[in-house]
Every structure is written in C-alpha cells, then in structure tokens.
Structure 1
Amino acid sequence: MPDKKNYSSSVISKRRMHHAIRLVVSTLFLSVIFLFFGTGVIASDMLKENQLLVGVARKNITPDKRIKNWVTGKPYTGVEDSIYVRALVLGDGQDKIVIINWSLVDAGESATDEVRKKISAELNIPAHHILVNASHNHSAPWTPVYQAGYRGKERDTWWAIRYMPPQNDDPYFKAWMKFLINQTAAAAKEASQNLQPATLWIGRVNASRYMYNRRPRQPKWGLEESNVPKGYGFSHPDYNPDVLVGGAAFGPMDRTMTLLSFRDAHHNPIVSVFHLAVHAVSIYPYSEAISGDWPEEASKRIGETIGGEAVFLQGNAGDIVPWRRGRVAVTEMGAGLAELASAAYRFSAKLKPASLIATRSMVKLPLSERGKERTGLDSVNAEVQLITYGSLAIVTLPGEPLTGLGNAIRARSPFPQTLVLGYSNGNGVHYVSLPDEKPFGGYEVETGTSGTECAGRVLEEEAVRMLNEAIGRINHEHDAKK
C-alpha cells in the first residue's frame, strides 16, 4: 500500500469528487425522508435498515347529546365521559400504515371507506394500509352510513334502527358525521407528523378475572332439578361471575391481554397498544348517557401507569362480556387492566426489526334466509386484512366474531405473535362463528347473524391462507439475502 503522500493528484481529485457525490446523495436522501415523514423529528439512527417509526394522536369524537341513542330511540341524557378516536401510524422508511380505533359500536363498511379515502389522500398512502377498528362500545353511536350500496338493500344495520328511523337528516347527527371523519383524519395526520424511531416489545398477561363467556354450555340431559334463583344474571343481587349455575360448563375464552409497547431510544414508552376481547357493555344497562365504557377508562389508566399514550384494539368478543357491570366495575376494571399492563410491560420481549407489510382480501360470506331477506343478496362482501412486522401478525375480521373463531386462526398461524381483531373494516354478517357454535343456540347464531353457519369458516380459511402466503414471502426474501 503506497503512502498517502505519494498519491497522485488525479487520485486525490477522484476521491474528492466521490466524496462530493456521496454528500449530495445523502442530502437528497435526507430531504426525501423529511418530505415523506413530514415535520416529525427523525433521529440519525432512522437510516438503519428496517428502522421502525411510530406516531400516535388522539382526538375527541363525542357527538352532541341530542342525537338519538340507538338503545332507546331517544336523545342521550348527557355525557358521562368523552369518547375518542386514536390513530397509530407506523413506518419503516418506505411504507406507512395507519391503525384507527373508534370508541364506537362498529366500523361499518361505508364509514371505513369514507375515512380511508380521506386519510389516503392526505397522507398519500394506499387505502389497504389503513385499518379501522371499533371498541364495540354500546354507550356510543353506530358509525354513520355515508353511501348506500355496500350491503345491498340493507343501508343501516338493523341494530342501529330498531327503535328509530335513520338519523342522516337530523342536523345534530349530520354535523357529527362530518366531525367524525375530520377528527379521524386530523388524528392520523398528527400521528404521522409525530413519527419517531422506536423499538417494539410484546408482553402478555392473564386478564380472565375481568371476562365472562355469556354462552355457557348447558347440559342437554341428566339434571333432576336446579336451584338457580329466578331472574339470575349480572343484575341479580346474588350474581357471582365465578360460578356457573344449572350444571353448565364454561364456554371458550381467550384469557390473554397482549401489550405492544413502542419505546424510544432511551427506552421510554411512546405508546402502549393493548388488545383483548371483551364487550364494552358495562355502562349502557345503567345509564342512557354517552360514555367510553371500560376501554376509555383502561386507556386513561394505562397511559398514566406506564407513560405515553394507550390505544385499545378490540378482539373477538362476540360471546365475551365483562365479569361485572356498572360505573364501579368500570373503575375497577380500568385500574386492574392498568396494573396487568404494567406487569406485561416489565416482563416484555423485544421483537426483531423487520419490514411492514399490509395486504387485504375480499371474500363473499354466504347469507342465511334472514340475511337474504335483509339485504336482497345471496352473499355479502367482507374484508380480511393482514399487517405483519417480522414475527408479529395482526389479522382483522369484520362484524362480531365469537372467540372460537379467533382461537382457530391463531392456532393455525405460522406467526408466533398473532393478534386477531374483530369489529374491523366492516360489519360482514354481524355475529359470526364457526359451525361448532350452532348446536348451542342463542341469538348470536340465530337472529343476531345474517350469515350461514359456514360464514366463519370462510373467514378462517382466508385469514390462514393470507398468513401462510405472508410467511412464504418473508422466507423467500430472507433466503434471497443469504
């Protein structure tokens, strides 16, 4: 190797030229990064391969109390506590993904499409990179229908208009329709502007103390008598959620609360995403006011306990309800889930960096005679969405899936960290389950669904197909880099 002093001037000139070119390329790259991620602060280590970025924002979406309560058909009596939209934006330097949670009953097809169009235009991302999940909060409205035609002649879901006509011409509801979309888009934009480098950690805890499967397996024969009190249920003074009565057996239940913890370079929490499957029905039997029910209480408490923001993603809660109900139960559940989340945070594991991938598929769900009458169709279009980040997979199902459907998908998933969301990107056939639920009866498999007993199997098979296809693509890309 010659001494640097003996380098010819031409070699030195070439090195200077190459150095100048590298500076120009680096400057252009940083400019592109700045334009892509907006005004958010991006640290220097963002340039690492597969550097995860995260941003979060929250906006109030509480409607005027003068809109009608779908449970009573009368105006809400007040606002016990506000309801919110939360937007989580993820990036990897190339793609962005937006995850929305509404503190509402559902995420209907029309509302999902409307908010996707607005966010897609404002953030310049594909519509299938936007996930819309609802907490299934019964103390809040159903999402508005902005355009007809998504579900045949069934414009509004029958649940929303059982006790009143559609509200689209009501001035207070019309104002809220616009407000909901604008606030959601504003939250997504703010979260995108707040993007910062992050690591992702995952933890799980047993939250079964706050859950109850309302579909216990009743014996078909063999009992002589039962001492179950008349009118026994959650409102009965002797109610005990830990005891099954009448010789019944427990139905299936996913006891897990999963915590996805996004942390900054100093290991400080940015946002905690908590996922479990429990109906948000604690408040509405006792109050006709607007409320965020236990998910809002838990979000607040988890944020206070761990730090940063907290975002809830609802699971397959079609047959799972809170163990107790009422304001006292909500307060207790919020505090208890925060304590469990703190434990999950403490004992969590860090996921390896990876690329973000989002895909979706449309399937046709077969309709029962009841569903055909409601819609005028033989089948209804339904979306299954998949978001992956390395070993983490988030699957979405439409409508109100029973817990067994989510369990089946997780059991067949090749991804070790699989979350299955319900109440996402549409209503599908409303309640939806696997065929093995049919013999146990109940309105979830009878009047509460528009689908045949095979509708859940269609969703399961499509979700598993997408998961297997995704892992195959990841393995192929990994092999190509060797």
Structure 2
Amino acid sequence: MNYPTTKNVRALLKSTAALGIGLMATFTPLPSIAQSFKAAVGKVDITPDSPQQLLGYGARKSTGVNDKIYHRIVVMDDGKTRFVLVSSDICLIAPSEYDQVAARLKKELGIERENFWWSFTHTHSAPELGPPGLPEAFLGERYKHQYDKKYAEETETKLVSAVKDAIKRLEPARLSVGWGHSNANINRRARDAQGKTYLGLNPDLPVDRRIGMLRIDKSDNSAMAIIANYAMHGTVIGGECTLISGDGPGIVSEYVEKKTGATMLFINGAAGNIAPIYSTQPTPFRLKEFEPLLGDRILEANARMTSSDAIVSIKTGGTIVETPRREGLKWPGYMADYTGTNTAGTQVVKLPVRFLKINKDIAIWSAPLELFCEISNEVRERSPFPYTFYYGYTNGWLGYMMTDEEIPYGGYETTVTPFKPGAGKDLINGVLGYIEGAMSAR
C-alpha cells in the first residue's frame, strides 16, 4: 500500500477548504512503517602462507595452493535480533573449537551463541583448524601430529575481526527466498551384487538436488549476499592432490560472486551420503565443470527470485537431542559437554540443534553432523514451513548419522559414527517437535 505523503495531505486539506467541505475535527495520524532490517557481508582470506596438514582423506601436507580459501560472513539485524552466519572453506572442526570462537563473539560483541552459526563447506583440501575432536576417536592414527595453533589463532581472529567490521557497516536491506535445482550430486553408497557397500557412485539411492536460496539486497536492489544451501561432499579433488582448494563449493562461490557482485555463502546440506558427480579426481582439472553444473543453476534460481521484503523478522532457538552413544568409543575429554548419561543410565550423545525462523515462511535448522539426506528430506516434507532448509557441518562435527535402513549394508560411514540405530528417528522427532511446537508458535 502507498500512503499519502505530508505534502499530499496538506494539498487535500487546502482543496477541500476551498470547496467548503467540512472535515472532522479530529485527525488520525497516518501509519509510519520504518524499515528496521539491516545486513552486511564480509569476506576474508584464510589461505595459509606456509605448508599445512590437510584435513580430509589420509594425513598429508599441502605443497601449494590451487585456489584461495575464505571466511564468508553475513550479519542480519531486524532491530531486535542480530544473527551471524559464517561459511568457511574448511573441512570440519571440533565443537570445542566452535565454543571457543562463540565465547569470543559473546564477550567482544555481545552475540549470543544461538545467534552465531559457523558452517563449513566440507572441502577435503583445506588445512586442519584446531584440535581434531571426535575424528581422533575413530581415526587415531591419522592424528599423530600436533595441530598448528598459530594458524588456528590467526583464523579465529580473522573471523571475529570480520564480524566486527560487518557490524559497523550494517545498512538497510531486503530479503528474498526461493528454490533451485542442480544435478551436480549423486548418492555415493555404491553396492556390489552381494550387497557390500563402499564409497563410489550410486544413482539408484536417494539424493537431494534442491538448492535452498536466500538473497539479501541493498536498498537500491543491488545484490549484497547470496546464500545457497546444497548437499555435496567437497571431494571433487582426491587425496593424491596436495594443493589447498575450496574444492567444488569454493569454485562455485567464486564463480557466482564474479557474475553477480554479491558475496556468496555456500552452505552444505545433508551430504553424508552424497558426492559430487565427478569425485576424488587426481587433479583439480574437473573443478571448473561445477561452474555450469551448480553455479549456473544458482544463478538461474537467483534470477527467479523477483520479490523481496524490507520488513524481516528473525527468531532463533535451539534444543538438545539426546540419543544413545555407541559402546567402546573413546570420547575426547575436551568434548565432555557433548556426551553424558541419561536418567536411565544410558550413555548418550548430546546433539545441539539450532533453529532460525525468518518471517512466517522460512524455517532453517542446523546440526554438527554428516547427515544422510533421507533424514533432512523427511523433515522438509513434513515441515509446516514452505521453505525448510537444513544447514549441515555447522558449529562443529559429531560424526555421520545414517538411516537405520542403510546400517546393515555397512560401509565407511558405519566406522565413523558415534550413534546407535534409531538416532535418525530421534533427530527427526526432536527437530519436528521444535518446528511444529516452539517455532510455529512464535
């Protein structure tokens, strides 16, 4: 609705007086709608200047750089809630590393933990960041070395500084939402005739090819940020290559940024059983093919989002989903906050799940998991919100979470999970319970 301006009202009063038309003695003030939604972005280079241990595949050290890696940051503020989303070109981190940075943001900037989401693209060609976390419980031989504390401290400080700078540059903004589709991924649970499962490509098993899109525009309608949520392992490049790279997610982000001028955050989805269609290549040669395969599909989805809102409401929340812990797992002591014993005396994993509600139609949930896509697909299908996105690899890593149907087939994922059968159902119930309850009521 277009409300009359003060000038127009005065003209109306003058004209009616000239015509002898009487006006009511009392006048109701016109409503005033002040835009309160603001946003800002940041992008900072975190490419190390010295060789680093790479995380992903076996233990190996970098010998050079194929493409630079970054923190990409969006800060959103609706006047009541300030929310920070970071996408980093890193494979994964321990939840304790997230805790450390979250504590700094709270102390230095007053950002509440529930309002800081740190997501990882899951590139397998990036340096380690901080202590190994839960992987040392599964792959102890992989972590004989000490992690690089200097690189970790520098990378943490770059993140905090970039958030500080973005907050200083908050400006009026608008928000759009939409869906896209790309065939750049495939289920990676390959099977032989006897049912043995191993890492490969399997077009007959479930996949999630939707792209969940958010775009933030400046007040002049130019694009500020594109947030693209897509499920795909960062494994286009294989373990033979020792060059640092953002892999598929990083290459696609750079491509979209060059085409649009916006900062693009690639947020991985439920990629636990999903690979890129060209996977574990011995060289970076095929990375460029993901520019049209995924990058152009993001650009197409972006072009279809023709409407945007200047009035934006942000609400955050969280819950802990407890599910039984696998026996015989040597849990790292510095991650004690993420395990415990329930009232029945059962050892459990304490899984932190975060929620973000934007206006009345967008529900985003995140977890520190490599989640099988069937689980997030079911949440999306049953959610009352038309736009329901899952942000994976967020705020740490607590292993793979499989479906009960896939566990009997074995495979790599069964060796790197702290969960027992039934965990997927526990997560679905916990997430939908929150979405249908607290989230829908607010």
Fold match by TM threshold 0.5: yes
CA contact (8 A) 1:383 1:426 kept: no
Report deviation, 1:198.
1.6
**Which has a greater percent of strand?**
2
Question: CA RMSD for the aligned pairs?
Answer: 2.7
User: Equivalents in 1 of 2:407, 2:268: separation in Å?
Assistant: 24
Report deviation, 1:161.
4.8
Aligned length: 394
CA contact (8 A) 2:54 2:60 kept: yes
Distance 1:73 1:339, change over 3 A: closer
Aligned to 2:28: none
Aligned to 2:343: none
User: Equivalents in 1 of 2:47, 2:238: separation in Å?
Assistant: 16
Residue by residue over 1:90-146, the C-alpha shift from the partner in whole angstroms, topping out at 9 and shown as x without a partner, is 110111000111211113211111111112222212111111111111111343139
Larger deviation, residues 371-380 vs 184-193: 371-380
Q: Which amino acid aligns with 2:267?
A: L
Q: TM-score, normalised by structure 2?
A: 0.82
Q: Structure 1 residue 371 and structure 2 residue 329: aligned?
A: yes
Aligned to 2:7: none
Report deviation, 1:457.
1.9
Q: Structure 1 residue 260 and structure 2 residue 205: aligned?
A: no
CA contact (8 A) 2:324 2:423 kept: yes
1:378-397, aligned counterparts within 5 Å?
378-390=347-359, 391-397=361-367
- Residue 198 of structure 1 aligns to a residue whose secondary structure is strand
Match of 1:212 among 140, 165, 186: 186
CA contact (8 A) 2:93 2:131 kept: no
Residue by residue over 1:367-420, the C-alpha shift from the partner in whole angstroms, topping out at 9 and shown as x without a partner, is 112436778962222210001101111100222111111111111211110101
Q: Percent identity?
A: 26
- Residue 44 of structure 2 aligns to a residue whose secondary structure is strand
User: Equivalents in 2 of 1:297, 1:190: separation in Å?
Assistant: 25
Aligned to 1:15: none
Distance 1:160 1:273, change over 3 A: farther
Aligned to 2:64: 78
Unmatched runs of 5 consecutive residues or more in structure 2: 1-12, 15-31, 334-338, 341-346
Q: Which amino acid aligns with 1:269?
A: A
Aligned to 1:185: 160
Q: Structure 1 residue 94 and structure 2 residue 80: aligned?
A: yes
Q: Structure 1 residue 303 and structure 2 residue 257: aligned?
A: yes
Report deviation, 1:86.
1.2
Report deviation, 1:196.
1.6
Q: Structure 1 residue 362 and structure 2 residue 329: aligned?
A: no
User: Equivalents in 2 of 1:139, 1:124: separation in Å?
Assistant: 33
CA contact (8 A) 2:199 2:412 kept: no
1:148-163, aligned counterparts within 5 Å?
157-158=136-137, 161-163=140-142
Q: Structure 1 residue 67 and structure 2 residue 52: aligned?
A: yes
- Residue 47 of structure 1 aligns to a residue whose secondary structure is coil
Report deviation, 1:215.
1.4
User: Equivalents in 1 of 2:424, 2:54: separation in Å?
Assistant: 30
Residue by residue over 1:313-352, the C-alpha shift from the partner in whole angstroms, topping out at 9 and shown as x without a partner, is 1101011111114423211102432211221111125365
- Residue 407 of structure 1 aligns to a residue whose secondary structure is helix
User: Equivalents in 1 of 2:423, 2:330: separation in Å?
Assistant: 14
User: Equivalents in 2 of 1:402, 1:233: separation in Å?
Assistant: 14
User: Equivalents in 1 of 2:322, 2:395: separation in Å?
Assistant: 15
- Residue 462 of structure 1 aligns to a residue whose secondary structure is helix
CA contact (8 A) 1:201 1:261 kept: yes
CA contact (8 A) 1:203 1:349 kept: no
Unmatched runs of 5 consecutive residues or more in structure 1: 5-44, 222-231, 235-240, 475-482
Report deviation, 1:439.
3.0
User: Equivalents in 2 of 1:307, 1:160: separation in Å?
Assistant: 41
1:407-422, aligned counterparts within 5 Å?
407-422=377-392
